Amino acid sequence: MNLHIFKNAQDASQAVYEQYRDRLEKGAHVLGLATGSTPEGLYELLSQSDLDFSDLYSINLDEYYGLASDHPQSYAYFMNQHLFRHKPFKASFLPNGLAQDIEAELERYNQIIQNHPIDLQLLGVGNNGHIGFNEPGTPKDSLTHYVQLTEETIDANQRFFNHRDEVPSTAISMGIASILSAKEIIVMAFGPQKAWAIAQAFEGPVSEQVPLSFLQTHPRVTFYLDQAAASQLSRELRQAHPLEGGESLS
Ligand code: GLP
């Protein structure tokens, strides 16, 4: 796995933005997108750019179950606010958080992924090492599935809601196999709360207990971290990847 460690999140977002420019120039056609605070800087750069997405498809990783697409905390709303209203795609897909027939919705989403193979998948990281909403224990061969969120994830995401009991406890998420089917994967992680998961993913075993570690089995993955997210990596690994955009890590 490739690793870039930056002075701060802003420099890392700029570097990821440049990767997007390059991949779009090279013909990337289907973008797998992520939500959360981590990619906000990237989406701002993409929104302000001269890049044209009107011939591209986007497929999002996940959606809370029980929130309508116009709910301010739904991922559909987030994507619209941060990217789609500035840069419309030819078509943008997210799981339907209000689907009555969940099995049919999972099948619909798997079919979308199969019909639009993802060129470049963007990932953030949950504090417990989840990707999308693939919580610890999710098998490597999983496709889109209905998820019971862990208490830790609900705690981490409650900052976006008025009260903890407003945070949905379930979601629909692309599976690990869906994510690994992308031709290329970019991971962004910022802040000390991500340091444990990052260290496990790089230096621990491939394990269902840390879904991020499954990326070790993919041939083309690049991590873009700030110093804090890299802080629990071994000294050897950090020395081999000097800080970009500033002085070396101590
Ligand atoms: C949620 C999302 C993930 C995201 C994670 C981290 O759980 N389902 O896709 O990576 O939050 O969010 P943040 O970037 O806000 O730390």
Cβ–ligand 1 distance for 34 under 6 Å, the answer: yes
Global pTM value: 0.96
- Centre of ligand 1 to C-alpha 105, Å, is 22
Of the pLDDT bands very low, low, confident and very high (cuts 50, 70, 90), residue 67 is very high
- Centre of ligand 1 to C-alpha 68, Å, is 19
> Residues 113-128: what's their mean pLDDT?
97
**What pLDDT is recorded for position 245?**
81
> Does residue 90 surpass a pLDDT of 80?
yes
Q: Which atom of ligand 1 is nearest to the CA of 37?
A: 15
> Does residue 172 surpass a pLDDT of 60?
yes
Of the pLDDT bands very low, low, confident and very high (cuts 50, 70, 90), residue 246 is low
Q: Which atom of ligand 1 is nearest to the CA of 34?
A: 9
> Does residue 250 surpass a pLDDT of 70?
no
Cβ–ligand 1 distance for 35 under 6 Å, the answer: yes
- Centre of ligand 1 to C-alpha 125, Å, is 6
Cβ–ligand 1 distance for 171 under 6 Å, the answer: no
Contact indicator for 186, 222 with CB cutoff of 8 Å: yes
Of the pLDDT bands very low, low, confident and very high (cuts 50, 70, 90), residue 249 is very low
Whether 135 sits among the annotated catalytic residues: the reply is: yes
Q: How far apart are the first and last CA of the chain?
A: 23
Whether 11 sits among the annotated catalytic residues: the reply is: no
pLDDT digits (tens, 9 = 90+) for 133-151: 999 999 999 999 999 999 9
Cβ–ligand 1 distance for 129 under 6 Å, the answer: no
> Does residue 219 surpass a pLDDT of 60?
yes
Least confident of 18-27, 29-38, 127-136, 154-163: 154-163
Alpha helices in the chain (DSSP H): 9-25, 40-48, 75-79, 102-115, 151-157, 176-180, 195-203, 235-240
- Centre of ligand 1 to C-alpha 124, Å, is 6
- The protein residue whose alpha carbon is closest to atom 13 in ligand 1 is 36
Whether 60 sits among the annotated catalytic residues: the reply is: no
Cβ–ligand 1 distance for 9 under 6 Å, the answer: no
> Does residue 60 surpass a pLDDT of 90?
yes
> Residues 102-108: what's their mean pLDDT?
98
> Does residue 248 surpass a pLDDT of 80?
no
pLDDT digits (tens, 9 = 90+) for 34-59: 999 999 999 999 999 999 999 999 99
Distance CA 37, CA 22 (A): 24
Whether 107 sits among the annotated catalytic residues: the reply is: no
Cβ–ligand 1 distance for 134 under 6 Å, the answer: no
Residue 111's CB is within 10 A of a number of other CB atoms, namely: 11
> Residues 172-196: what's their mean pLDDT?
98
Q: Map residue 92 onto helix, strand or coil.
A: strand
pLDDT digits (tens, 9 = 90+) for 28-39: 999 999 999 999
Contact indicator for 197, 229 with CB cutoff of 8 Å: no
How much is the mean pLDDT over the chain?
A: 96
- Centre of ligand 1 to C-alpha 39, Å, is 9
